Amino acid sequence: MKTFCTDKIRNIAVAGHNGSGKTALTEALLYKAGACERLGRTADGTSVCDFDAEEIKRGISINTALASVEYNDYKFNILDTPGLFDFAAEMCEGIKAADTVVITVSAKSGVKVGTKKAYDEAVNEGKSKMFAVTKIDDKDANFYNVLTELKTVFGPTVCPVVVPVLKNSEIIAYVNLIEMKAYKYDADGTAVEIPIPDGNISEKMDYRLDGLIAEISEAVAETSEERMEKFFDGGKFTQKELIEGIHDGMNRGIITPVVCTSAVNFAGIDMIMKEFELLLPSPAEVYPTEAYTPAKEVVEIKCDSLAPLTAFVFKTVADPFVGKMSFIRVMSGTLSANSEVINATSDSPEKIGKLYTLCGKKQTEVQSAQAGDIVVASKINANTSDTLCTTAKLIEFGKIEFPKPCYSMTVKAKSQGDEAKISAGIQRILEEDPTLRYTQDENTKEQILSGLGEQHLDVAASKLKNKFGAEIVLSVPKIAYRETIRKKVKVEGKHKKQSGGHGQYGHVWIEFEPCVSDTLVFEERVFGGAVPKNFFPAVQKGLEDCVKKGVLAGCPVVGLKAILVDGSYHPVDSSEMAFKMAASIAYKEGLRTADPIMLEPIAELKVTAPDENTGDIMGELNKRRGRVLGMEPVGKGNTLIQAEVPMREMHDFAMYLRQTTRGIGSFDLEFVRYEQLPANLLSEVIAAVSAEA
């Protein structure tokens, strides 16, 4: 593939709700542009973009796929992103690298949560937006209802550009409101121009077209004072003025065009590609990107091929055969193969070897990429969100903000001896997916894998097996219970044993009482040398070994103070081991009589959810033994609920919240303290902990 100038590049992320037709639209665009010989289908496992083994097996998009294609001397870098919320990181990466986000909306189901999330992410990243109403050929489709819904949800910036003509609920043509031309499509998706339909052909078509033209004229008039004056003077905009106005409005975020299409019969696909050329801003036209100098000063990086090189790694793929593949957006200058750059994030040199442009899994080697282009480099050390640059322009771009992991499972090797292989494989997958986290629980010593949902972790486990040959079993993490006492007691511990030769003798009196401490507090108040000082450390060590296991369920003991007050010794038979055993005997007896209780971890919960779901969530928190501390509005029809909840009840809360809020809600959960476990749960917890031991 040849090197393209910045003004001939269009970087497009296709995003939207799961099942809204993102991959189908991308496949149709690639087929029409001649990038593939036949139309791929996700359901058949033949699509260009869903080529990963897991995607083929599950019939869904999991990864953001890059498909670069030449069309009419333009280069379209299309980033097909997943719609499932478990793989939200992929959408964030795709939108970060793009200049325009094409948001797919099903003509059957309309605006969904995924539609709003894609729109909000595009707004947060300052990207231009376009709505593509898909599945327009479906018998249950209703384009004009969806158009009304888009205007209701997203406001007056929504501007129709390509609309269908209906007759007896059937689509007979498509009208391009910019050209004011109508087209009819044959079975192969070839467009034939026809006269603009009127009221004789389609019911209500005359006034509907007049209304749509008025909408597009009003939207264009908002883009400049000159156009506003012409609009108020009653003048009609020319085709060129409409194109320039929408183009300018998209770049400034004040116009969001709407097109419609059927990926099955290719109706409208050619018009969408034409709008990509005419309406979408090139990388050179978008606003400069903010970056930071080594002195943390803010600078603006304009997309200029003649400027020093700056580039951003927006995605990483861990391939066991090819090695690490880094997806790079060139922000300024020119990135060349076989060159050396600086990784400003890690402050280390990077050797760039070969560069590739991708169309799904098909790789095409290129020698260089100019500002605004997207390429892939293999086997470099850079990670996602790293900045590459030259010594002439040392800067660092802001990192991508990813959703926080909210669902955790314990990782265990299915076969003994695979632990090292699992650790190495997971580290490679963590490079690929920033929303996964792999840690060891400092209390239970379990290896914990955290992600965005059940399916997210299931896919990670499958990748680990298929790519790195490490098979794991996922299970619910243990709860780190604790034990403590509620009253003060004084007990005796005596260890006496005679077995020929030297015997064993240790004798202590110890007071146990509650205190505020996560570790054992040990004191000695022995008078008259009843226990020699050289045995004090042995008594303390014996107790420190004991508090690792309580007397109820064998959980660690906290909040315990032990005071050595008396005892006795034998000048020959006493030893450190004997006094350790005596301390252990006193510990077991003392805790049994000191009213022992179980403690459970309590966490602070902050839930952000739509206002209409707050009642359901508060009811659910009550069922989970939570205490709601307060509520406050946080804008956009959402409420923040603050509560304290037992960790024991929160394992599947992420799944509950997603179902209840349809994926809108989010939460943070942070451990704060331990509290007494209710008596009605004591026997159940003791049985469960004992079974796990």
Question: 407-475: which CATH topology?
Answer: Alpha-Beta Plaits (3.30.70)
Cβ burial of 684 (10 Å; 0-12, 13-18, 19+) is exposed
Each domain of the chain, given as residue ranges in start order, spans: 6-278, 289-397, 407-475, 482-594, 598-692
The CATH code that applies to domain 289-397 is 2.40.30.10
DSSP E strands in 36-157: the ranges are 65-71, 74-80, 100-106, 128-134
Q: How many helices (H) and strands (E) in the chain?
A: 16, 37
Distances (CA, A) of 449 to 197, 410, 438, 446, 479: 59, 6, 5, 10, 15
- Give the C-alpha separation, 248 to 255, whole Å: 8
Question: Which residues lie below 8 Å from residue 204, measured CB to CB, with a gap of 6+?
Answer: none
Q: Is the pLDDT of residue 693 over 70?
A: no
Whole-number pLDDT of residue 233? 85
Question: Which residues lie below 8 Å from residue 264, measured CB to CB, with a gap of 6+?
Answer: 24, 137
92 pLDDT band, cuts 50/70/90, is very high
Q: Do domains 289-397 and 482-594 have the same CATH topology?
A: no
> What are the structure tokens assigned to 533, written together?
């000082």
Give the least confident one: 81-90, 410-419, 516-525, 672-681: 410-419
Q: Is the pLDDT of residue 205 over 70?
A: no
Q: Are 93 and 314 in contact (CB under 8 A)?
A: yes
Distances (CA, A) of 179 to 32, 243, 294, 556: 21, 9, 50, 75
Q: Does domain 482-594 have CATH number 3.30.230.10?
A: yes
Q: Is the pLDDT of residue 516 over 70?
A: yes
pLDDT tens-place string over residues 228-278 = 998 888 888 999 999 999 999 999 999 999 999 988 888 999 999 999 999
Q: Give the global pTM.
A: 0.88
Whole-number pLDDT of residue 199? 64
Question: 598-692: which CATH topology?
Answer: Alpha-Beta Plaits (3.30.70)
195 pLDDT band, cuts 50/70/90, is confident
Residue position matching structure tokens 């298929």: 466
Q: Is the pLDDT of residue 227 over 70?
A: yes
Q: Are 81 and 64 in contact (CB under 8 A)?
A: yes
DSSP string, 154-207: H-TTEEE-EEEEEETTEEEEEEETTTTEEEEE-TT--EEEEPPP-TTTSTTHHH
Give, in words, the CATH class of 6-278.
alpha beta
pLDDT tens-place string over residues 380-414 = 999 999 999 998 889 999 999 999 999 999 999 88
